[in-house]
């Protein structure tokens, strides 16, 4: 059984069909890419997968469980985590606390335990700190734990977002343009990090990216969207030779 099975997913806003007939099968431990021109519906697809939008039709199953139209809270608990195209960190909070917020539903104690500083509070907080520092170390940021998130340079903010997403122990990680705004060196480094995350955590990763070198370099299967519909799917090589994809990106021969 595949980790994620999406069938015939679609959403329309008013009269506009933003995404239609979206199918996707994701297996654990693999890297998937979702590409397409601006406005093709890539982020909309992410928003449906994470429960931010309720799909108008279709079906999403994670590990055999139907999660279609469930709340983001439910889906996060079920095992899908994401990052955002325009970085969304908890700016005023410490880097360490940003990661700890990611563990919100994984390491719990009651409000009263926190208020009364019970043993379960102390032990869980201790474990959280240790786990968060370990995660930060994967990204080489363990020495930044005490800074506020907004004090980090851009590239590290992107990494912190991935770190926070990983803190929720996801089965599937969705990255929305992780390399946006990065220079070639940072992009190269990020590619290695993403691969490492996949290998070390043994999870599936689905990413949206405009940087073709990045996508072609690490994704094993790429889905191309245009006007809300899938126009091609396959390995990097298949995609780059597909005439419809070339037309979508470069414009048709006639223009």
Partner 1 sequence: MAGRKKMKKSTRSNLMTFGFVIAFWALIEIVRMTGHMTAKIGGLLIPVCAYVVMAISLNLVVGFLGELSLGHAAFMSAGAFAGIYFYTTAGAALPQWLAVLIAFLIGGAAAGIFGVLVGIPVLRLSGDYLAIVTLASGEILKNVLGAMYIGSDSRGLHFSLKDQFSLGMEPDGKMLLKGAMGIMGIKKFSVFTVGIVLILITLIFVTNLMNSRAGRAITAIRDDEIAARATGINLTKYKLMAFVSAAVFAGFAGVLYALNYSSLVADKFDYNLSINVLVMVVLGGMGNVLGGIIAAIILTVLPEMLRGFSQYRMFIYSIVLIVMMLFNQAPAFVSWRKRFMMRFRKKAPVSGKEGI
Nearer to partner 1, 73 or 200 (CB): 73
Nearer to partner 1, 80 or 248 (CB): 80
User: Nearest distance from residue 163's CB to partner 1, in Å?
Assistant: 12
Closest CA to 87 of 147, 145, 168, 157: 157
Q: Is 73 in the site for partner 1 (CB under 8 A)?
A: yes
Please list every residue from 34 through 63 that binds partner 1, using CB under 8 A. 50, 52
Helix (H) or strand (E) holding 161: helix 154-166
Name the one range near partner 1 by CB under 8 A: 17-25, 100-108, 206-214, 216-224: 100-108
Please state the length of the chain. 255
What is the C-alpha to C-alpha distance for residues 27 and 138, in angstroms, rounded to an integer? 23
Residue 37 DSSP symbol: S
| Given 68, 76, 156, 157, the residue binding partner 1 (CB under 8 A) | 76
Q: Is 105 in the site for partner 1 (CB under 8 A)?
A: yes
User: Nearest distance from residue 208's CB to partner 1, in Å?
Assistant: 15
User: Nearest distance from residue 213's CB to partner 1, in Å?
Assistant: 28
- Which residue bears the tokens 């990216």? 209
Please list every residue from 194 through 233 that binds partner 1, using CB under 8 A. none
Do 42 and 11 form a contact (C-beta atoms < 8 A)?
A: no
What is the C-alpha to C-alpha distance for residues 53 and 70, in angstroms, rounded to an integer? 9
- Which residue bears the tokens 């089965």? 171
Q: Is 137 in the site for partner 1 (CB under 8 A)?
A: no
Strands 204-208 and 172-176, bridge-based pairing: parallel
Q: What number of chain residues touch partner 1 (CB under 8 A)? A: 48
| Given 23, 27, 146, 200, the residue binding partner 1 (CB under 8 A) | 146
Do 26 and 49 form a contact (C-beta atoms < 8 A)?
A: no
Nearer to partner 1, 6 or 141 (CB): 141
User: Nearest distance from residue 231's CB to partner 1, in Å?
Assistant: 28
Closest CA to 162 of 196, 125, 192, 194: 194
Q: Residue 186: left (phi > 0), alpha (psi -120 to 50), or beta?
A: alpha
Q: Is 246 in the site for partner 1 (CB under 8 A)?
A: no
Do 206 and 2 form a contact (C-beta atoms < 8 A)?
A: no
Give me 64's structure tokens: 């055999």
Q: Is 133 in the site for partner 1 (CB under 8 A)?
A: yes
| Given 30, 59, 84, 231, the residue binding partner 1 (CB under 8 A) | 84
Interface contacts to partner 1, rule CB under 8 A: 50, 52, 72-73, 76-77, 81-82, 84, 88-94, 96-97, 100-102, 104-105, 107-109, 111, 113-117, 121, 124-126, 129-130, 133, 142-143, 145-148, 151, 164, 168
């Amino acid at each position: 059984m595949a980790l994620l099975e999406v069938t015939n997913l679609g959403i329309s806003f008013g009269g506009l069909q933003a995404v239609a007939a979206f199918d996707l099968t994701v297996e654990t431990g693999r890297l998937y890419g979702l590409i397409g021109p601006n406005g093709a519906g890539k982020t909309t697809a992410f928003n449906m997968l994470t429960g931010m939008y309720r799909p108008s039709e279709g079906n999403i199953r994670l590990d055999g469980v139907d999660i279609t139209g469930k709340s983001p809270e439910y889906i996060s608990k079920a095992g899908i985590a994401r990052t955002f195209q325009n970085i969304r960190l908890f700016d005023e909070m410490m880097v360490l606390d940003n990661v700890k917020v990611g563990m919100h539903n994984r390491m719990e104690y009651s409000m009263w335990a926190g208020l009364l500083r019970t043993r379960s509070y102390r032990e869980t907080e201790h474990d959280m700190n240790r786990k968060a520092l370990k995660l930060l170390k994967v990204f080489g940021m363990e020495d930044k734990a005490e800074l506020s998130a907004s004090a980090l340079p851009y590239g590290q903010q992107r990494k912190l977002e991935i770190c926070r997403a990983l803190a929720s122990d996801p089965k599937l990680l969705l990255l929305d343009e992780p390399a946006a705004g990065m220079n070639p060196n940072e992009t190269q480094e990020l590619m290695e990090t993403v691969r490492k995350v996949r290998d070390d955590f043994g999870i599936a990763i689905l990413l949206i990216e405009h940087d073709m070198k990045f996508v072609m370099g690490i994704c094993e299967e790429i889905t191309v969207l245009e006007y809300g519909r899938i126009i091609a799917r396959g390995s990097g090589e298949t995609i780059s030779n597909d005439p419809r994809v070339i037309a979508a990106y470069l414009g048709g021969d006639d223009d």
